[in-house]
């Protein structure tokens, strides 16, 4: 009888662990670790989320704070990890990824590197009032900042490129780049050309 119970329990755990749409619950100071997450290549965060991302040999997601299924979710599908929460209390999530190459942040979400990110290439796109503070050690970094979003970048990259709007902010005073290009996109002042944008491209070699 004991062997039968243990076998049934193991099967249930296996079924729950392999789902690609995972709800996690954490109360008080507890955290929920989602280990059956694999091949994360892109992360999307929306709402009131604070994401800490780092490199690692094994993909893993840790959810802290209060996390209720009806207000927040973590979804892993086809290499894209989607994290969303719209509660007043910020949802804090730690992600370890072995092959990350893209991050997109929306609304009031915050993205931070838990340690220095060592990647071949990373694309970061920020919208709305999103904020990113990243320590980079990359060959290439492509940063796009829209709306009122802001990015603070430090570390070292070989190839750096950025695109930003007139209302957004990129601070890379402490980022060392061997080759860098920046594109500023701003609406034209003329009402007749309000739908168009002008591009100012600055090429520099450091």
pLDDT digits (tens, 9 = 90+) for 6-40: 332 333 333 233 333 343 444 445 778 877 787 89
Residues of the chain with CATH 2.160.20.120: 22-115
Q: For 22-115, CATH number?
A: 2.160.20.120
Check pLDDT > 90 for residue 120: yes
pLDDT tens-digit map of 44-84: 999 999 999 999 888 999 988 655 554 678 888 999 999 99
Distances from the Cα of 108 to the Cα of 51, 58, 111, angstroms: 11, 28, 10
Do 124 and 168 contact (CB within 8 A), yes or no?
no
Check pLDDT > 70 for residue 188: no
Q: Is the pTM of this model over 0.85?
A: no
């Amino acid at each position: 009888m004991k062997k039968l119970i243990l076998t049934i329990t193991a099967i249930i755990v296996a079924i729950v662990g392999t789902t690609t749409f995972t709800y996690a619950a954490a109360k008080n100071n507890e955290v929920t670790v989602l280990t059956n997450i694999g091949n994360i290549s892109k992360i999307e965060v929306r709402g009131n989320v604070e994401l800490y991302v780092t490199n690692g040999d094994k993909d893993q997601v840790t959810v802290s704070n209060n996390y209720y299924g009806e207000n927040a979710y973590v979804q892993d599908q086809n290499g894209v990890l989607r994290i969303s929460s719209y509660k007043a209390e910020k949802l804090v999530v730690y992600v370890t990824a072995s092959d990350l190459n893209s991050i997109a942040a929306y609304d009031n979400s915050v993205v931070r590197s838990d340690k220095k990110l060592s990647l071949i290439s990373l694309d970061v796109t920020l919208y709305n009032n999103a904020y990113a503070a990243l320590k980079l050690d990359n060959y290439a970094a492509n940063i796009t900042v829209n709306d009122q979003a802001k990015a603070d970048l430090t570390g070292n990259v070989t190839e750096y490129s950025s695109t930003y709007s007139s209302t957004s902010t990129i601070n890379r005073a402490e980022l060392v780049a061997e080759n860098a290009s920046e594109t500023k996109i701003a609406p034209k002042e003329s009402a007749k050309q309000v739908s168009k944008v002008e591009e100012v491209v600055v090429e520099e070699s450091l």
